[in-house]
Amino acid sequence: METVQQSEKIIAERYRILGKLGQGGVGITYAAVDLNSNQKVALKALSLRLTTEWKKVELFEREAKTLSGLNHPGIPRYIDYFQVDTSQDRCFYIAQQLAPGKSLAQLIENGWKPNEAQVRHIASKVLEIIVYLQSLLPPTIHRDIKPQNIIMQKNGRVFLVDFGAVQNTYHHTVTGGSTVVGTYGYMAPEQFRGKAVLSTDLYGLGTTLLFLLTQKFPSDLPRQKQKIKFRDRVSISTELADWLENIIEPAIEDRFHSAKDALSALRGEQPSAINPDKMFKRSPQSRITLIDAKRWLFIHIHPDRFPSKLKGFFQFIHRSYKFLLPFSLILGFFYSPLTLIAVPPNSRVSLFKYTVADWLDKFFQLFVFISIQAVIIFTVFYALMCLCWIASCLFTRSIQISPQDIQRVKLSGIHLPLLKKSISFCRIRAKSRNYCFGLFLPQADKEWLVKELSACLSKLK
């Protein structure tokens, strides 16, 4: 599209053109002065004569209508929408507050190399704007987030501009809009199909941040299964890299659902947006919970439920009592310190000289001793079971690991020569360390976990 207006020209007897700011898919934007207030404004113009598609006029009018209803400090204030007719043309204009500062694209072009803290700041501020847009009724989708449309002042204040590709979800639902709008390299895959959802703007933000970090256009970065591979080209924390991995996922269902979720994760308020229906998996015996949150894998091994087995323990003691009783009698006869049967030291015949009262007294002593034996045995069994449960808890653990860090998953074994058997356990080899766990898990749980983790690795390759 050609330049519509020249510098110093006055439009609608109110706006004096100062110079051209930029040109997008829908219209040209000028810096101008509002003669009524003497304030600088951004004046976006669209020439009907130079427009080859009527769809651009529709997008221009939609942008004006959208801007008139927005009120956020990160979005330049809407001033006016009007048209000017001449003998040769009809021009449409949108007047907005001029966002002071330079676009991220200009800053990079001038040699700016932002650090991680600055990138996080920009991401947080843009996400706050997107959260506002998504809170509207109906939610508004920008659809063209890129370095040229993000303005930053020296004090760090951030503006989001150029709503020429804006879409609200109601319009999309009613018309089933199929127009492809956006900028190649920053467009989410669904935009090529004429589709836009809440997470579409997140993809544009993610690719913009990659441009800041790598100083390269996203389209020039290597890809694997449509996903941009960037980790070996940036020097940032693992947390931020994992967050970026999520926000640029090609599949909609793998991205953060909304800007609010992405902002919470960026601030460390939640690990990720997890869909319980898809992300939570349990082993056959429900001893293991595996949460596949894309950026992280969470493995939690639960202990055996000791309270639920308490009833079975008492039943075991009850059924075993008839076997323990003879054993207690023998011990009581030979080893009781209470002398179960008072036999005179020189004669066993005197055994029959006891009265009935003496026999009752000895029987009572026998009963007391057997009871003490039973209590001791019961206590020993109870203590052993408690110790076993405590040991089980000691081997209970939660593991959090990034799927990208996993190199190998397998079942390993420990050979016990005295018992002539081997016990297996799970081993995860990661880049930084090895994880060994699950020694006392059922074999089915171990095999299930290794299979699930191996499947996760195969998806990444």
Catalytically active residues are 144
Tokens of 119: 């990138």
Q: How far is CA 353 from CA 338, 358, 367, in A?
A: 20, 10, 22
Whole-angstrom Cα distance, residue 350 to residue 333?
A: 18
Helices (H), 218-258: 238-247
Are 124 and 116 spatial neighbours (Cβ–Cβ below 8 Å)?
no
Q: What is the DSSP string of 2-59?
A: -----TT-EETTTEEEEEEEEE-SS-EEEEEEETTTTEEEEEEEEESTT---HHHHHH
Tokens of 304: 């055996």
State the CB neighbour count (10 A cutoff) for residue 95: 23
Can you say whether the dihedral through the CA atoms of 203, 206, 208, 211 is positive or negative?
A: negative
Q: How far is CA 110 from CA 22, 104, 119, 241, in A?
A: 17, 10, 17, 25
Are 19 and 30 spatial neighbours (Cβ–Cβ below 8 Å)?
yes
Are 226 and 279 spatial neighbours (Cβ–Cβ below 8 Å)?
no
Whole-angstrom Cα distance, residue 109 to residue 223?
A: 24
Whole-angstrom Cα distance, residue 234 to residue 335?
A: 78
Helices (H), 191-304: 200-214, 238-247, 259-266, 276-279
